[in-house]
Amino acid sequence: MKTQTLTFTAPYAIEIGQASLPPLGLEDVLVESICSAISPGTEMLVYRGQFPHTTVDPCIPGMGNEFRYPLAYGYASVGRIVETGKRIKKEWVGRLVFAFQPHASHFVAHLGTLISIPYHLPAETACFLPNMETAVNLVQDAAPLLGERSLILGQGIIGLLATSLLAQFPLEKLVSADSYPLRQAESLLAGANSCLDPNSATFHEQARALLPEGADFTLELSGSPAALDEAIALTGYSGRVIIGSWYGEKRATLNLGGDFHRSRIQLISSQVSTIRPELSGRWNKQRRFGVAWKALASIRPEKWITHRFPIQKAAEAYQLLDQNPSGAIQVILTYNEN
């Protein structure tokens, strides 16, 4: 059987081709894709050639071992099982599943690598699972306390999900920032008390007026290395900066010679592939996925899908995110569903 595949072949170049699928193993299933979400952060680094030539996250099956062109990438696919290996019960046929899988119209996977989607959630909601798990991880790493003041830099899809989660906490203040008016408006609807424009000449003054003693914790989710310096500057004494952005080959130039030296600010690297060590005795990926599914059911982030493209027009999707990011929040690829 053939599958349509998306491959990054060079900076700003993708190819939609066909490939033969391997035969089903005894515990494999054949999945027909319904939709897959494009990560406007990580995938745009791949699209632009701004990724370091390091190993790919080993927690994501279905990809090669190294970031190097040509590269199949993607980690948010939802599809329906259409065929099973001999050791898999036929009742799995027709089941909706999530896969950390590069964009493709069909794929073969070991059943154990797939996540069964709760029956009450539609496919487009399930596409947000990795983003929601990331947001849950960020909030767990931030460990918000009653009455704290928080700042979130970046209101892309991860930022909006984190804002939605933090809005459920009894914080004293929840301030966000993003350059794009569309995202600013959605941030306020998601629960931020204020959403500022970081490009404004008065951004620091506005932020200081809202957070006069600085933020107790700041989430840096903008993907811009320059924002890390902003996060440090706007975080209060003994506060914490949780760095959720992946900058790829872009370097962050930090001013650590001023107030930072006396501020006792913690810089915390947050990445979803693992569990915060202090929680790992009680938490595992399965428990965190359970929280993410419940959060998806209540927040329903498919409202932030601004564009849908069939996989054959995927080049247009990446061009949109590259050239007109202010008009997009979540872009998904769609596939034929029988």
Q: What pLDDT score was predicted for residue 249?
A: 74
| Contact status, residue 175 vs residue 211, Cβ threshold 8 Å | yes
Residues 215 and 268 in one domain: yes
SS3 261: helix
Among 231, 246, 278, which residue terminates a domain? Answer: 278
Per the domain annotation, does 84 fall within a domain? yes
Amino acid symbol at 273: S
Q: What is the pLDDT along the chain (338 residues), one digit of tens a residue?
A: 899 999 999 999 999 999 999 999 999 999 999 999 999 888 999 999 988 766 555 555 555 567 889 999 999 999 999 999 999 999 999 999 999 999 999 999 999 999 999 999 999 999 999 999 999 999 999 999 999 999 999 999 999 999 999 999 999 999 999 999 999 999 999 999 999 999 999 999 999 999 999 999 999 999 888 889 999 999 999 999 999 987 777 777 777 877 787 889 999 999 999 999 999 999 999 999 999 999 999 999 999 999 999 999 999 999 999 999 999 999 999 997 54
Verify cis geometry, omega within 30 degrees of 0, for the bond prior to 70.
yes
pTM for the whole structure: 0.93
Taken in order 39, 42, 43, 47, the sign of the CA dihedral is positive
Residue 27 lies in a domain: yes
Q: Give CA torsion, residues 304, 307, 310, 313, to 10 deg.
A: -140
Judged by DSSP in three states, 295 sits in helix
User: Among 89, 246, 83, which Cα is nearest to 158's?
Assistant: 246
Q: Does any domain span residue 292?
A: no
Examine residue 305 and state whether it is found in any structural domain, yes or no: yes
* Domain span holding position 166: 132-278
CATH number assigned to the domain comprising residue 213: 3.40.50.720
Amino acid at 209: A
Alpha-carbon torsion 223, 224, 228, 233, what sign? negative
Please check whether residues 36 and 88 belong to one and the same domain.
Answer: yes
Q: Is residue 291 part of a domain?
A: no
Q: How many domains does the chain have?
A: 2
Assess if residue 289 is contained within a domain: no
Are 136 and 269 in a shared domain? yes
Joined together, the tokens standing for residue 199 give 């490009």
- Alpha carbon separation from 141 to 150, 207, 237, 289 (Å, rounded): 13, 23, 18, 16
Is residue 110 located within the same domain as residue 44? yes
In a domain, 144, yes or no: yes
**Measured on CA atoms in the order 62, 66, 68, 70, is the torsion positive or negative?**
negative
